[in-house]
Amino acid sequence: MTSEPGADPATGTPLSVRGVSRRFGSVQALANVDFTLEAGEIHALVGENGAGKSTLAKIVAGSIRSDSGSMSLFGELYRPSSRREGAAAGVAHVRQQLSLVRGLTVAQNLQLGRPDAPAIFNAAAARAEVERWSDEYALNVPAETLVDDMPLAVRQQAEILIAVAWGARLLILDEPSSALGPIETQALIALCHRLRAEGTPILYISHRLPELAELADRLTVLRGGKVVVEGADVRAADLREVATLMIGDVSLLEVNRPEIAQGPTRLSVSNLSVSSTQEIGCHDLEFEVAGGEILGVVGIAGNGQESLAQALTGQVKLASGHVVVDGEDISGSARKAIAAGVAHLHEDRSTGLAAAFSVADNATARHVGSRRFTRFGVRLPDKIARHARELVERFHVRPPEPAAMASSLSGGNQQKLMAARELEKNPTVLVAHGPTKGLDPEAAKAMRDRCFAAAQAGGAVVVISADLDEVSDLAHRVIVLYRGRVTDAFPIEEMTSERLGAAMAGLTETTEAVSG
């Protein structure tokens, strides 16, 4: 790297971006963007899905190159040609789609790709380092657990721990709170404030505007790849005006909860237990969900939510119990679940989508082998592409290009692509795990409306979420999980922060039935 004239690398501005542009085919992702991250600040970068936030983050981290413009890092000209080069310069990027190798432990990931990693892996030293940083920052990161066996929230902590251990001088966090509940979010905010106090400036990308008032110092708003607000003081900002700048008319975002007539039971869960290496698992769960009803499931991350989602969609073998949809036992059979009309919005998009396949392949994945898209066993690409284009237009996936790789889409647009596939038809049962995670306010409203529409069409809807506002907006009833068991159940009108907090901490138990 080359110093700018008169710049002092020790005191220079941590990050200066000038006139950066980037195009992907016909899509102008960034257009002449200026951005500055000052010393000792947390700078929020906000905008709707596809506004260019993640593209800018990837350019700063070195994952992709800009078409034009320049950057300086701590007063030096900065032109990273790879993420590894960016990391060597001290830029750590914790991405929305987490990048740890899932078949390795946290300790192994700590050394993998590390700029100064020794040639020979020292398992004991790596384990001790993970434990030391985990203790130092009050993180709950197990050193020798496979990444695949950890809940999403813990994986996020592990990414941040590794970034700190690598000696990050500048930290980029892309939607770090999207899978976190209020307790975990407060812990994340405290961690960010501590890192800032210790001298690490943070670029923080988020759609959760209310938390920015507590978290950030300044904010920049992107819309359509262009800066519409640069470096505004968060404390003086009107977040409603910020939302307007992001998406336009914020009156469209208000939750209009429709009146939905409830019908007979469509989903019945009895004596459900699931063993899991990823989290606590589930134990003796009993509940029913009627057609037209939305059941909210809440709990601190890792308390059985993912096991429940997998059990309801037939993806895991049950230790005991049954999952019945319209009288059909689908327990342990994803094929039966799909045939029964069960739809699943995964919490982890890397599981819910095939990132290395095209938008068209992902959009039509529920039709594999269908005569509608094959002839004599041969795929009909034109029909597949036409159908996929109709779906992505209907669900506002951007860019609406069937041939594009799913991995090339922004996180929010990947979420919309998954919804397009799962909600193409009205599902009998919809299991929505964090359905608005990583979505901008307008897209989040559209997703909530689709959950309401599934219930209005007579489906049973289960919303599993760390976002208590999301549950409050959607659910008719709530059950709380603690260590895989139901500790409380109540109608949404009785949900209070005190009652939730007690149940999520396992301080209450209920012997009442949790069916309607």
Tell me: do 242 and 314 sit in the same domain: no
Q: Is residue 177 part of a domain?
A: yes
Tell me: do 158 and 100 sit in the same domain: yes
DSSP of 325-393, one letter per residue? ETTEE-TT-HHHHHHTTEEEE-SSHHHHS-TTSBHHHHHTGGGTT-TTTEETTEE-HHHHHHHHHHHHH
Q: Is residue 350 part of a domain?
A: no
Tell me: do 409 and 333 sit in the same domain: no
Query: b vs e for 424-438, b when ≥16 Cβ sit within 10 Å of the residue's Cβ?
Result: beebbbbbbbbbbbb
DSSP of 154-221, one letter per residue? HHHHHHHHHHHHTT-SEEEEESTTTT--HHHHHHHHHHHHHHHHTT--EEEE-S-HHHHHHH-SEEEE
Q: Determine the Cα–Cα distance for residues 437 and 20; give it in Å rounded to an integer.
A: 28
Tell me: do 370 and 474 sit in the same domain: no
Coil, helix or strand at residue 424: coil
How would you write the pLDDT of the chain (516 residues) with one tens digit per residue? 444 433 344 458 999 999 999 998 878 999 999 999 999 999 999 988 888 999 999 999 999 999 999 999 999 999 999 988 999 999 999 987 778 898 899 999 999 878 778 888 899 999 999 999 999 988 889 999 999 888 878 888 899 999 999 989 999 999 888 777 787 888 889 999 999 999 999 999 988 888 888 899 999 999 989 999 999 999 888 877 887 777 666 665 677 889 999 999 999 999 999 987 766 789 999 999 999 999 999 998 889 999 999 999 999 999 999 999 999 999 999 999 999 999 999 988 878 899 889 999 999 998 877 888 888 888 888 999 999 999 999 998 988 899 999 988 887 889 999 999 999 999 999 999 999 887 877 888 889 999 999 999 999 999 999 888 889 999 999 999 999 999 999 999 999 988 988 998 888 644 343 444
Tell me: do 60 and 130 sit in the same domain: yes
CB 270 within 8 A of CB 149: no
Contacts of residue 407, Cβ cutoff 8 Å, sequence gap at least 6: 355, 356
User: Position of tokens 């759609």?
Assistant: 207
Tell me: do 55 and 154 sit in the same domain: yes
**Counts for the chain of helices (H) and strands (E), in that order:** 17, 23
Tell me: do 415 and 455 sit in the same domain: no
CA 145 to chain centre: 21
Tell me: do 213 and 89 sit in the same domain: yes
Q: Determine the Cα–Cα distance for residues 490 and 480; give it in Å rounded to an integer.
A: 9
Q: Determine the Cα–Cα distance for residues 108 and 128; give it in Å rounded to an integer.
A: 12
Q: Is residue 349 part of a domain?
A: no
CB 33 within 8 A of CB 53: no
Distances in whole angstroms, Cα of residue 269 to Cα of each of 277, 290, 326, 329, 481:
22, 12, 12, 10, 15
Domain with 377, as residue range(s), is 356-426
Distances in whole angstroms, Cα of residue 228 to Cα of each of 29, 62, 169, 243, 376:
14, 24, 27, 12, 53
Boundary residue ending a domain (249, 273, 292): 249
CA geometry: angle 333, 334, 336, nearest 5 deg:
65
Q: Determine the Cα–Cα distance for residues 94 and 182; give it in Å rounded to an integer.
A: 20
Tell me: do 323 and 360 sit in the same domain: no
Q: Is residue 254 part of a domain?
A: no
Give bridge partners of residue 485 from the DSSP assignment. 482
Boundary residue ending a domain (211, 227, 249): 249
Q: Is residue 38 part of a domain?
A: yes
Q: How many other CB atoms are there within 10 angstroms of residue 83's CB atom?
A: 19
Q: Is residue 351 part of a domain?
A: no
At 445, which CATH number?
3.40.50.300
Domains held by the chain: number:
3
Tell me: do 12 and 137 sit in the same domain: yes
Tell me: do 444 and 395 sit in the same domain: no
Boundary residue ending a domain (190, 220, 249): 249
Q: Is residue 346 part of a domain?
A: no
CB 475 within 8 A of CB 289: no
pTM: 0.73
Tell me: do 121 and 134 sit in the same domain: yes
Backbone angles phi, psi at 344, to 5 degrees: -140, 115
